[in-house]
Structure 1
Amino acid sequence: MLKFLKARENGIDDPVILRRTESTKRAYSLELSKHRDVECVFYGGINSLDIDPVEARYLLSGTVAGTVHIHDLTNHSGQVKYTTKAICNISRSSPYKHKHSVETVQWYPLDSGMFLSSGTDKTLKIWDTNSMKPADEYEFSGIVYSHHMSPVATSHCLVAVGCHSSTLKLVDLKSGSATHMLKGHKKSILAVKWSTKNEFLLASGSEDNRVHLWDIRSSKGSLMSLDQFNGQEVPTLLSACTAHSGHVNGMSFTMDGLYLVTSGTDNRMRLWNIDTGRNTLVNYGKIQNETRKSLQLAVSCWCKSDLIYIPDEYCNIQVYEMFTGRKIDTLRGHLQQANCCVFHPDYQELYSGGNDRNVLVWEPESDGAYDSHLKEQSSKKQTNNRNFVSRIAATADAWSSDEET
């Protein structure tokens, strides 16, 4: 680190080099935090997490009980060891909560004063954070498995909604109506994601084993259907032009928007080149994934080689190097199945939620500074206690009464 700081100080290296080096070091060394935990206010398993993109301060979560919670990630205690407190809740007693499980939550990309949630009660709700009441609500004919707003859009305010229907729906928050219906899938749509580079590019994954890329400015259908075999000879006719040999239930674009990561119930994960639409054929091995709902995976950013964090069926978060497929680590901590994870881009931390009703914090491995500080605080406290006891003993009454003698 001193070498990079010296080179940065002398103007030899670009500032980006230092940032990428430190980000890579931190992202590769995540472990269960010894100093932080998240206040447990959840009434059921946690299905979805999101960190607000404006301040990167607030953690949003949705549960199977239909409740939604907001935690403030800032340390207000002044202590190294602290608990992240919940500051807002849509509890089970709230008349506005979802009637059934919340499947997806997301902050409004430009303002933490709004957020969105959707679930198995067939509704998409737009919330006012200040009042914790719905500002708008949309009903659909089937379960809403996933929704997503573009993080880079400037010319539209569309929400992509994947539900128990073969039609991908686009809701315009400005007009308050469903403006587009994109047809191309044959079964329920489990996952939707907007590109992090192109505001008009949208990806969707379905129970028909396919992943479609859409340009919402075109009315001629999808741009392309991703093919796991890259146009080569396929084993069966049913597997032609399919991205997976099972349901596609998870996806995420890389920060630069050049690649798309997908996961499926065929226990495989694939990396796609967005410019060509080709499978990069990176082999990540078998990743146990049999869930029949949307799975939230995370991708690191600002690293020399980005990492993929994906929950598996065994209560763990698996960590893979994106372009080599090499397994880096297994993050163990959940007591029941993990459902979702989100990567903090500023601090290279990971937050994960599962059926054990816990949100776990995974932070870069301590270099000893925190532990030394904790020991120092403990030592000072013990010294102060001894001094206090000594003062009490020194000032205690030492006289005796003649009547007692």
Structure 2
Amino acid sequence: MLGFLTARRAGLDDPLRLRRAESTRRVLNLKLNPDRDVDRIHGNGINSIDIETIEGRYMLSGGADGVIVIYDLENYSGKPQYTCKAVCTVGRSNRHVHKFSVETVLWYPYDTGMFVSSSFDKTMKVWDTETLKPAEVFEFESNIYNHHLSPIARKHSLIAVGTKNPKIQLCDLKSGSKIHVLQGHKAEVLSVRWSPRYEHILATASADSKVKVWDVRRASGSLFSLDQDNGDKSKSSSEAVNTAHNGRVNGLSFTSDGLFLLTTGTDDRMRLWNSATGENTLVNYGKVCNESRKGLQFTVSQGCSPEFVFVPCGSSVAVYVLHTGELVTMLRGHYNNVDCCKFHPDHQELYSGGKDGNILAWVPVLRASDMEEESDQKNKGAADSSAGNRALQDAWSSDED
């Protein structure tokens, strides 16, 4: 690491290379932090968590008990050991609380004054963070499995909603109404995701084994359906044409650049797709245990090289290299199945929630071998610094000549 610092100081290396190297090192050293706890508020399993991107300070959680909690992740104690406190809760005593399980919670992408929750009580609520009261309530005819807001949209304020009904609903935050329906799936829609690259592109996953990609500006059907066999009819049965998985597809996640789309299904497989062409990249992640009948929230790292995928796998979180499928490690600490996880790109930390009602913090821990390596690099760093200075002097001399 000292070598990267010296090269950056001397102008011999791209500053982004140092940042990526340190981010990667931190992700590879993720461990369950014994010094950091998260307040246990939920009396039942945790279905969804989200961290706002404005300050990277506040985290939302939604549970099977219908409760929503906002946590402050900052450490104000000045001590290594601290607890992330719940700053406010929409509990059972709140008259606006969801009656049944909260399946998804999401911060509004542009400020922390608003968040959105959806539930099996057939409602989606847009909350004012200051008052903890719904500013808008959307009612549906069936259970809601998932909703998503575009992280980059400037020309629309649509929320995509997946329900037990095969039709995907598009709700407009500005007008407070449902403005459009996307038809094409034949079973409940378990996951929906807007592209972080193009604000009108939406991906949807269903229990009919299909994943569809839509341009919501088009009045016609989807752009394409993902095909695990890449159009090779000899490999697919007549009943399974253009299917992404051989079971329910219950998880979607775009990479941070929007170039690739990850899907998970109850066939215990995870697949990586080219989001522009719909091509299956055929990366083999092996068996990825997936017993969830509902949506599964998994996450992708940001700023690393290579990128990593964190996916719930039973009572553990499996960490894979995105483009090779290599299993890096299994993060074990929950007492029951993990249903959701969220990567914090500001600090390269991971938070996971499970049916045990706990939210666990996984943070980079410097190992003894890393400390020895950094100690060994100090002498090398001095040599690198001299080399860097000589390179600069040579460059200046040539300029003067």
Relative to the length of structure 2, the TM-score reads 0.91
Alpha-carbon distance between aligned partners in 1 of 2:291 and 2:337, rounded to the nearest angstrom: 11
The residue number in structure 1 matching 2:256 is 255
How far apart are the structure 2 equivalents of 1:28 and 1:249?
27
**Is the CA contact (8 Å cut-off) linking 1:343 and 1:350 kept in structure 2?**
yes
Runs (4+) off by over 4 Å: none
1:96 paired residue number: 96
Q: Distance in 2 between matches of 1:223 and 1:236?
A: 23
Do 1:114 and 1:128's aligned partners in 2 also have CA atoms closer than 8 Å? yes
Whole-angstrom CA distance in 1 between matches of 2:43 and 2:97: 12
| Aligned equivalent of 1:177 | 177
Residue by residue over 1:339-378, the C-alpha shift from the partner in whole angstroms, topping out at 9 and shown as x without a partner, is 000000111100000011100000112357xx9xxxxxxx
Match of 2:302 in 1: 301
Counterpart of 2:83 in structure 1 is: 83
One-letter code aligned to 1:246: G
Greater Cα radius of gyration, structure 1 or 2: 1
The question of whether the paired residues in 2 share the 8 Å contact of 1:249 and 1:294 is answered with yes
- The alignment partner of 2:145 has SS state of strand
Q: Do the aligned partners of 1:60 and 1:71 also contact (CA within 8 Å) in 2? A: yes
User: Which amino acid is 1:122 matched to?
Assistant: K
CA distance in 2, matches of 1:129, 1:303: 32
CA distance in 1, matches of 2:366, 2:11: 29
Could you tell me which residue of structure 2 aligns to residue 334 of structure 1?
334
Deviation per residue, 1:248-276 (Å, 9 max, x gap):
10010000000000000011000000122
Q: Amino acid of the residue matched to residue 214 of structure 1?
A: W
**For 2:89 and 2:239, how far apart are their aligned partners in 1?**
46
Matched to 1:285, the amino acid is G
Cα contact 2:150–2:199 (8 A) shared by 1: yes
Contact 1:234–1:240, Cα closer than 8 Å, also in 2:
no
TM-fit CA distance, 1:290:
1.9
Partner of 1:242: 243
Match in the other structure for 2:348: 348
Query: Once the two structures are superposed, what CA deviation does each residue of 1:158-207 show, in whole Å capped at 9, x if it has no partner?
Result: 00000001101100000111111001111100000000111010000001
> Which SS does the other structure have where 1:88 is aligned?
strand
Amino acid at match of 1:125: K
- Deviation, 1:117, is 0.3
Shift of 1:288: 1.3
Q: Which amino acid aligns with 2:142?
A: G
1:186 corresponds in structure 2 to 186
Counterpart in the other structure of 1:73? 73
| C-alpha contact (below 8 Å) 1:145/1:164 kept by paired residues | yes
Aligned-residue offset at 1:239: 1.4
Separation of aligned partners in 2, 1:299 and 1:323 = 12
Q: Using the alignment, how far apart are the partners of 1:166 and 1:357 within structure 2?
A: 30
Question: Is there any run of 5+ residues in structure 1 with no aligned partner, and where?
Answer: 372-405
Deviations 1:251-308 (A, max 9, x none): 1000000000000001100000012210000000111112110000010011111111
2:167 paired with 1:203: no
Given that 1:228 and 1:241 are in contact with CA atoms closer than 8 Å, whether structure 2 keeps it comes out as yes
C-alpha separation in 1, matches of 2:239 and 2:31 = 42
- In the alignment, the residues of structure 2 paired with residue 281 and residue 28 of structure 1 have an alpha-carbon distance, to the nearest angstrom, of 24
**Residue by residue, what CA displacement relative to the aligned partner does 1:135-176 show, whole Å, maximum 9, x if unpaired?**
110010110000000000011000000000110110000011
Instruction: Provide the identity percentage.
Output: 52
Structure 2 residue ranges without an equivalent (≥5): 372-401
The one-letter amino acid paired with 2:295 is S
- Paired residues in the alignment total 368
Instruction: Tell me, in whole angstroms, the C-alpha distance in 1 between the residues paired with 2:347 and 2:287.
Output: 30
Which residue of structure 1 lines up, in the alignment, with residue 18 of structure 2? 18
Give me the whole-angstrom Cα distance separating, in 2, the residues matched to 1:33 and 1:362: 6
Aligned residue for 1:214, secondary structure, equals strand
- Per the TM alignment, residue 34 of structure 1 is displaced from its structure 2 partner at its CA by 2.2
**Is the contact made by 1:192 and 1:203 (CA closer than 8 Å) also made in structure 2?**
yes
Residue equivalent to 1:45: 45
Contact persistence 1:310–1:319 (CA under 8 A) = yes
Distance 1:22 1:303 in 2: 8
- Conserved in 2, the CA contact under 8 Å of 1:144 and 1:162? yes
Residues of 2 paired with 1:367 and 1:70: CA distance? 32
Cα drift, residue 55 of structure 1: 0.8
Counterparts of 2:111 and 2:304 in 1: how far apart (Å)?
27
Match of 1:128 in 2: 128
TM-superposed CA distance for 1:235, in Å, is 3.4
Equivalence for 2:394 = none
Asked if the contact 1:300/1:343 (under 8 Å) is kept, the reply is: yes
Q: Which residue is 1:275 aligned to? A: 276
1:216-237 Cα deviation digits (max 9, x unpaired): 1111110000000000123311
Whether the aligned pair in 1 keeps the contact of 2:158 and 2:171 (CA below 8 Å) is yes
Q: Matches of 1:73 and 1:267 in 2, distance apart? A: 33
1:276 and 1:303 mapped to 2: Cα distance?
A: 25
Letter in 1 for 2:264: S
Secondary structure at the aligned position of 2:100 is classed as: coil
Residue of structure 2 in register with 1:112 after alignment: 112
Give SS of 1:24's match. Answer: helix
- How far apart are the structure 2 equivalents of 1:137 and 1:219? 26
Superposed CA RMSD: 1.0
Counterpart for residue 313 of structure 2: 312
Other-structure match for 1:152: 152
Aligned to 1:387: none
* 2:376 aligned partner: none
